[in-house]
Structure 1
C-alpha cells in the first residue's frame, strides 16, 4: 500500500486508487505502515511540527467520500507531502551510498514498460515482457569509457515493473537477471575502480565473471554481498522486511552493513538479514530460483508471502482484509496458470472469498476457515 499512500500525498492518485486506499486502511497493518512512515518524519530534526496521526487518518478518509477534486484533497496534506519528501531523501542517504540522488518514486508497480535511465538523463523504454540489454548498447555519449579517475564512472539504472523481467550483460561479461519489481544500478564500465560495485532493490540472479583482482559487490539497503566469481540469487524487496542471498555455486561473503558483521556462505545455503540479525542456514535452492523459469513455487510459504509474489508476478494490487489468513501456509508450483486459477487452487484447502476488478483484488474479511 506504500505506493498508494505516496501517490495520494503527491497528488498523483486516481479515483479508483483512492477507493482502494480507503479499503486498505481497514487493515491494521496498513494503518501501522502509515504510522511508521509518519513517525519517521517526526524524528527528523528540521523544525517540522509533530504530526497528529488522527488528523492524517481523517484527511485520508474524508476526501474518499467527498465531492472535492484531487487538487483540493491534496492541498489538505501539503505539509505531509513536504515531510514525506524529506523522509525519502534521508532514508536513501543512509541506505544507498552509491546513488543518493535517486528518486524513490521512479519505481512504479503499475508501470507497463521497462525503463533504462542513462547517465546523461535520457530514458530508454522496452515493451518486452523479458528484455535483454547489453551495457555496450546503451552508453551515454559523454561518458569517458576508459578513465582512470574514479569520479568519472558513469552509472545506468534499470527499473523493472511488476509483471516484467530483464537480463543485463555488464561490461565484465557478468550477467544479471532482474525479477519483477526491481531497480538495479550499475556502472557502464568497471575501469578505474578497484571493485565491481552494483546496487539492487528487489530481486536478481547473478552469474559473475571471475576476477580475483577486482571483487564484485552487490549493495542492498542493509547487506552487501561480495564475490569473486559465482552464481547466486539476492532478494531484498522492501515489503519483505528481510534480505536473502542464496548461493548456487562458488563462494560469497555476506556483510551486515549496520553492524559490520559478516558470514561466509556455501553452496546450498542462504544468508538472511532480518531484524538486524545476520544468519546462515541450508535452503532448497529451487524455491529461490524457480522464478528464472517463469515458475511460481511456494514451499511452506505464508499466505502473506504468497500474495506479495502474486502482486509482483501479475502486476496487481491485492488487499487482504482477512488477517487470520496471513499465517496459513501453502505449497504449490504454477507456471501457465492464471491468477484466478491459482487462487482457486488455494481455496481448495482454505475457504476465502475475494473480488476481482481490473488489476485490484480484495480478499473479504471474516471468512470462516476450513
Structure 2
C-alpha cells in the first residue's frame, strides 16, 4: 500500500472502531455513514469489516462493548448485501483485510486497556469469613472478629466466652433471680459463625442471619430462640425442655435433633430440613411432622413436604455451593450473601433458568462466576460490589 492508502486505512480504522464502540461525536458519525453510503465499494468494505470473526470474538471477550448486538443493528440499517457474489481484486481485497485487521486491533487494544483498568478499579472480591456481632442485653455490641479470645461478659450468672476456633460459648456458672437477659448474634453478608448455647446445643449461622435468645436459654419451661436468615441446629436432648425455633410466621419444636432452617426474608418460602431425630413445624394452627431426609416448605402458610438430598441443604455449613438443579436466581442470592455483592439482571435474562454444579465457597468471586459462565448459563460483569448478569 502507498502512503496515501495507509493514512486512509488508519483513519478509516479509527473511525469504524469508534463507530462500533459508540465513542464518536455527531460529526464523526456523519462522516462514517457518509463514507459508507458514498459508493457500493465502500459499503462492501464496511460489510467485510463487520463480518470479521475476530472482531466479534474480541467483543465477547471484552464485554464493555456488545459488538454482536451492534453488528445486528448496523446490518439492519444497511439492508441486504447486493455485492455478495462479486469478487474483489487482489489489491482491494488486501486493503479491506488491512482495515478489518486494524479495526480489530484497535478494539482489542481498547478492550485490553479496559480490562487493565477494571483490574485496578475493581479489586478481587474474596470469599466471606468467620465473624459476627454479639449484642448484649444492655445494648453493648461486640465485634467477635475484633476481640481477643476469652471471657467477654457475664449476664445473670451466665458466662459468655469466645474460643480460639471462632465459637461463642455460653456457660451457666450460677443460678440467678435476675430478669431474663436477651442476646442477639448477628452475621453480616460475607460472615458465618457458631454459638454453643447453655444447654450444649450448637447453632451454625449462615451469612446475613441473626439468632436471638435468652442468655440462660430456658424460658417458661422451653428452650426458645428466634432465627432470621439461615441456621443449622444440633440440639442437645432434653425431654423436659422442648427446643423451639421461631421464624417469620412459623415455629419448630424439637427435643433433640439436627436440622436446617432457611428463613431469609428475600426468599419466597421457609424451608425446614431434618437430618436426624424429629421436628414438628407449626404455622397458622397447622402442624407437620417430618422424618430425616425430608423438608417441609412453608409457602405463606401452606405446608409441603419434599424428599431432598441433604448435601444440597448443608452445603454452606461445609463451605460449599451445591447448585445442582437450583433456580438460578436462588443460586445467585446465595452467592450475593456470601460475597456481599448486589446482583443486577439484564432484562434479557430468563426467569426459568436452572443452575448446576458444585463450587467451593473458599474461592474468590471471579472464580465462581467464571465456572458458571463456562456452562453457558449466563455472563457476568463485576463493577465494584455490583455483579451485572447477562444472557
TM range (shorter): 0.5 to 0.7
Determine if contact 1:111/1:161 at 8 Å carries over to the other structure: no
Q: d(CA) in 1 for partners of 2:227 and 2:336?
A: 19
Distance in 1, matches of 2:372 and 2:129, equals 28
Equivalent residue runs for 1:4-43 within 5 Å: none
Pairs within 5 Å for 1:1-370: 114-127=132-145, 131-136=166-171, 145-147=175-177, 152-191=179-218, 193-256=220-283, 259-322=284-347, 324-335=349-360, 336-350=362-376, 352-364=378-390, 367=391
> Would you say the 8 A contact 1:319–1:361 is kept in 2?
yes
Residue 275 of structure 1 deviates from its aligned partner by 3.3
Greater Rg, structure 1 or structure 2?
2
* 1:218-243 deviations in Å (ceiling 9; x for gaps): 00001111000010001100111210
Distance 1:192 1:341, change over 3 A: closer
Q: Distance in 2 between matches of 1:323 and 1:134?
A: 49
Contact 2:275–2:292 (CA under 8 A) maintained in structure 1: yes
Aligned residues: 246
Alpha-carbon distance in structure 2 between the residues aligned to 1:290 and 1:192: 32
Q: Name the residue aligned to 2:113.
A: none
**TM-score normalised by structure 1 residue count:** 0.62
Task: Report if the CA contact (8 A) 1:175-1:208 is conserved.
Answer: yes
Contact 1:134 1:170 in 2 (8 A): yes
Gaps in structure 1 of 5+ consecutive residues: 1-109
Tell me how far 1:145 sits from its aligned partner. Answer: 4.8
| Gap change, CA 1:270 and 1:187, over 3 Å in 2 | same
The alpha-carbon deviation at position 126 of structure 1 amounts to 1.8
SS of aligned partner of 1:240: coil
Q: Runs of 5+ in structure 2 lacking a partner? A: 1-127, 147-163
Deviations 1:293-319 (A, max 9, x none): 111111201111111000011111111
Structure 1 pair 190–347 and aligned structure 2 pair: CA distance change class (3 A): closer
Taking the aligned partners of 2:302 and 2:142, their CA distance within structure 1 comes to: 39
For residues 40-65 of structure 1, the C-alpha deviation after alignment (integer angstroms, 9 at most, x for no partner) is: xxxxxxxxxxxxxxxxxxxxxxxxxx
User: In the alignment, is the contact (CA less than 8 A) between 1:130 and 1:164 conserved in 2?
Assistant: no
Partner SS for 2:272: strand
Using structure 2 for the length normalisation, give the TM-score. 0.59
Distance 1:327 1:145, change over 3 A: farther
Shift of 1:352: 3.6
Aligned to 1:254, the other structure's residue is in SS state: strand
Residues 352, 287 of structure 1: alpha-carbon distance in 2 compared, 3 angstrom cutoff: closer
